[in-house]
Amino acid sequence: MTSVKLPIPDANVIARRGAINDDLARLIGREALVTDEEGRRAYETDALTAYRRMPLVVALPRTTEDVAKVLRYCHDNNLKVVPRGAGTSLCGGALPAEDAVVVCISKMNRILEVDYANRFARVETGITNLAISARVAERGFFYAPDPSSQLACTLAGNLAMNSGGAHCLKYGVTTHNVLGAKMVLMDGTVVEIGGPYLESSGYDMLSLVIGSEGQLGIITEATVRIIKTAEGARPMMLGFSAPETAGECVAAIIAAGIIPVAIEYMDRPAIEVCEAYARAGYPLDVEALLIVEVEGSDAEIESLLAKIAAIAARFNPKRVEISADADHSARIWAGRKAAFGAIGRLSDYYCMDGTIPLGQLPYVLSRISQICAEHGLKAANIFHAGDGNLHPLILYDANKPEEAEKAEAAGAAILSLCVEVGGCLTGEHGVGIEKRDLMVAQFSATDLVVQMRIKSVFDPAWRLNSAKVFPLEASESLRSDTIARSPEAA
């Protein structure tokens, strides 16, 4: 996957690296900068490793004031900025540029306030997702969004991409669990949006910012909702003889008005790899496996599991297995949580991320197999079936350029399919550079112009995370037009 066009870096900026480093050192301290080549190399890519660019310099601020100083300097000196959290992005969202300053907030990882009575925590966004839940667990609370990378990913990245996770079916994605944010704009201005209360007057600016992929500003603090942990939770496994049948079962469960805390899907290739890796006890004689988890009191759990089993029976499952105890539950989830890593041991893969209406699951699963076969490739499907957030893993050999090109083409076809059936290009990974040129499949020219004009209001010169999200030619044209009408943006 190397066909995405990237802007030509500004040689004049690169030539000024030494002076820029000295200026930034005076602002935030030499110890807060990564300037040597080997150090910068650690930031040259994110989890989408097909693309690599060495950053100009990496700033590691420790306070919101530090971030404001760096952005104000970059604004005044016409420098590009790439925001970065832990670099676990799967769409090239944190890919740097040779003429850009990477502002990595991983050092900003403090919990500033926890209010159990009002059920919120105020944190710096360099904190890992899982650390929030760990901090409040002793009082029986947790932070709901749980992407598979929650051990490593930062809240900053979750906010940028509006991340979800296995349990978003019941608890929602990031935007449903954040109450307020402190954000630094490109000119160094610090703004506060929302706060530790459930409702805000005026425009819903928080929903505009969450999911904006670092295009509007850098969020340094967030007030997040913490939720009381349920009395208990138990998963069950449902194995089916065909992927389409599993998809029909998912749609039937939701149509019945039952909202499990999670419904996860794996097809045969994924089941085999995950079982070999985790020894979770997955059935090897099925074509598709659902992991369905419910929570509540013991009586509620028993009732819900019985109802789901009755619905599944209509689709002739080959395997129905309900967790018997905590160890059994842990084994069931172990394979799913380790799935991406397990498959990575056997093959390179291109991880897709699209969302579809639940009623389209059977058709789309069938078409994914056909699309990959047409390109001479195989796929393993692992995804959040309950909300239609697909994550097909297209298997290929990264050492063979022709296979990489086929994988990229198959991925584009799958994402276009998601849009065709009424879905969208991304559920939680974001657009980044990976899907940038596919935005025209989902949005009209007018739609894109409106979105880009919003970007221009926050960042007139388009210095923040440039060359991401929007088709390159369209964004460069709008940027030039904005600067022509507003010379101070230059």
Per-residue model confidence as pLDDT tens digits over 301-313: 999 999 999 999 9
Tokens 């499990």 appear where?
A: 260
465 pLDDT above the threshold of 70: yes
What's the CA gap between 267 and 395, in Å, rounded? Answer: 14
Looking at the chain, the whole-number percentage of residues with pLDDT higher than 70 is 97
Instruction: Answer yes or no: is pLDDT of 48 > 80.
Output: no
Q: 3-class SS at 288?
A: strand
CATH of domain 348-437: 3.30.70.2740
Q: What is the mean pLDDT of residues 451-468?
A: 95
pLDDT at 147: 87
Residue 342 has pLDDT above 60, yes or no: yes
Q: What is the mean pLDDT of the chain?
A: 92
Is residue 475 pLDDT above 80, yes or no? no
Q: What does the pLDDT average to over 83-104?
A: 95
Q: What is the dihedral of CA 195, 166, 411, 431, to 10 degrees?
A: 10
Q: Is pLDDT at 389 greater than 70 in this prediction?
A: yes
Ramachandran category for residue 87: left, alpha or beta (phi over 0 → left; psi -120 to 50 → alpha): left
Task: Give the pLDDT mean for 236-261.
Answer: 92
316-327 tens-digit pLDDT: 999 999 999 999
Which residues are CB-contacts of 468 (< 8 A; sequence separation ≥ 6)?
A: 92, 93, 95, 213, 214, 215, 431, 432, 433, 436
Residue 2 has pLDDT above 70, yes or no: no
* Closest among 126, 23, 30 to 70, alpha carbons compared: 23
Q: What is the pLDDT of residues 208-227, one digit of tens each?
A: 999 999 999 999 999 999 99
Predicted confidence at residue 106, as pLDDT, reads 96
In percent, the amount of the chain with pLDDT more than 90 equals 77
CATH 3.20.20.70 for the 111-228 domain, yes or no: no
174 close to 225: Cβ distance less than 8 angstroms: no
- Write out pLDDT tens, residues 164-194: 888 888 999 999 999 999 999 999 999 999 9
Helices 445-458 and 472-485: angle between axes, nearest 10 degrees: 50
d(CA 451, CA 469): 10
From-to residues of CATH 3.30.70.2740 in the chain: 348-437
Residue 385 has pLDDT above 90, yes or no: no
The per-residue DSSP string of 386-453 comes to: GGTEE-EEEEE-TT-HHHHHHHHHHHHHHHHHHHHTT-BS-SSS--TTTSGGGHHHHS-HHHHHHHHH
pLDDT for the residue numbered 483: 63
Q: Which residues of the chain are in CATH 3.30.70.3450 domains? A: 233-340
pLDDT at 166: 83
CATH no., domain 233-340: 3.30.70.3450
pLDDT value at 1 more than 60: no
Q: What is the mean pLDDT of residues 397-403?
A: 90
Which pLDDT value is given to residue 358?
Answer: 80
Instruction: State the average pLDDT over residues 88-105.
Output: 95
Distances (CA, A) of 38 to 11, 58, 81, 93: 21, 12, 20, 22
CATH class of 11-104: alpha beta
Which residues, listed in sequence order, are joined to residue 80 by a DSSP beta bridge?
A: 100
Residue 236 has pLDDT above 90, yes or no: yes
Ranges for all domains in the chain classified under CATH 3.30.43.10: 11-104
Q: Where in the chain is the domain with CATH 3.30.465.10?
A: 111-228
The number of angstroms, rounded, from the C-alpha of 408 to the middle of its chain's C-alpha atoms is 19
